[in-house]
Amino acid sequence: MQDSYYMNEAIKLALKGSIYTHPNPKVGCIIVKNNQIIGKGYHRYFGGDHAEVNAVKYCLKKFKKDKGLKLLKGSTAYITLEPCSISSKTPPCTETIIKYGIKKIFCASLDPNKSINGRGVKILRKNNVDVKVGLLKNEAKSINEEFFFRHTKGRPFVRMKIAQTLDGKIALNSGESKWITSKDSREDVQYLRAESDAILVGSGTVKKDNPRLNVRNIKINKDKFRQPKKIILGNVNTKSNLSILKGDSEKIIFSNNPSSTKDSKIKYRKLSNSKTIESLLKELPEFEINSLLVEGGSEVFSSFINKNMVDELIIYISPKILGKNAISSLNIKSPKILKNATNFKIIETVPMKEDIKIIMRRI
């Protein structure tokens, strides 16, 4: 029971890094000695110290160096994910655990990353550290759903966002769409963006709406936050003054007619008639994209739905009616019989003052 309590506290800590760690997972760590928490930490931002290191630093700062070192020796750590065993932007966490004499580890789950999976546990056990795996495994995995998804499925978790009217329209026939939904709904979308590794739109939407596709108008630590990557399906002129091409975030353009550019932030991938949505998605892990937010337009929405490539569908519905000549959010063929209809399960409905937000998962 006490072990579960400490792991649950580690999970709570991990969540504090929510929008700052990706594409890394959110990780928390609690260090205990004689039933007292002596260290706690979490992975605060991408490129920064990992949870285990921050927990050790907390201990040394709180108890001062000499006492802290004594407390750490023979202590127990509760970590939400297998300690890393490779050097990247930071040294391996396994080295920190061994160096400070932490003798028992409860880790909620193994790391799904093939370069780490089980390796960290093996190194620790080889150095006489008692490691137990599986404590609150499901709870810990749930906070890194997209990270686990990418490493097990080989593609990002796809979340589609549609802002539409009661009659399923996203714009007037003229293309006017500002604004279908309310300010509260549009602000909520900024949080969806902040939690995503990348945002995808079609080139038609880029040319028509000239979107920025960045996170704005919400409170974030700009020094630690990394704007999502931007993905465009279709041809765009990179020499133009399009808003989506501005900013420091990486842009990935799937095009059958790439234009020359000196911008190192722009990457091209070949788009052809034979390339499927699934094969396109399989290329994105190369860019360390765990979660992909699909934002439009109608043709893109329909393509992803048709190919059954939407893992979560979020619809913001405005109490407006635009009529039959307006642009529909989806343009897909009807099934011949009802049981063959595309089906989603409603997970949650959220009132957004003027609108309603519906969160659904693929069945």
Please tell me the distance from the alpha carbon of residue 213 to that of residue 200, in angstroms, as a whole number.
9
Q: Does pLDDT of 255 surpass 70?
A: yes
Contact partners, residue 22, CB within 8 Å, separation at least 6: 46, 147, 195, 197, 226, 290, 291
Q: What is the pTM of this model?
A: 0.94
Please give the mean pLDDT across all residues of the chain: 94
Task: Tell me the domains of the chain and their CATH numbers.
Answer: 1-143 (3.40.140.10), 150-362 (3.40.430.10)
| 337, two tokens | 């019989």
Report which of residues 33 and 175 the model is more confident about: 33
* Percent share of the chain, pLDDT over 70: 100
Return all residues near 238 (Cβ < 8 A) that are at least 6 apart: 245, 253, 259, 260, 261, 263, 266
Segment 58-100, tens digit of pLDDT = 999 999 999 999 999 999 999 999 999 987 778 899 999 999 9
Name the helix (H) or strand (E) containing 162. strand 157-165
**In angstroms, what is the C-alpha Rg of the chain?**
23
Give catalytic residues, as residue numbers.
52
d(CA 233, CA 257): 11
Give phi and psi for 228, each to the nearest 5: -60, 150
CA 191 – CA 193 distance, rounded (Å): 5
Strand partners, 251: 230, 266
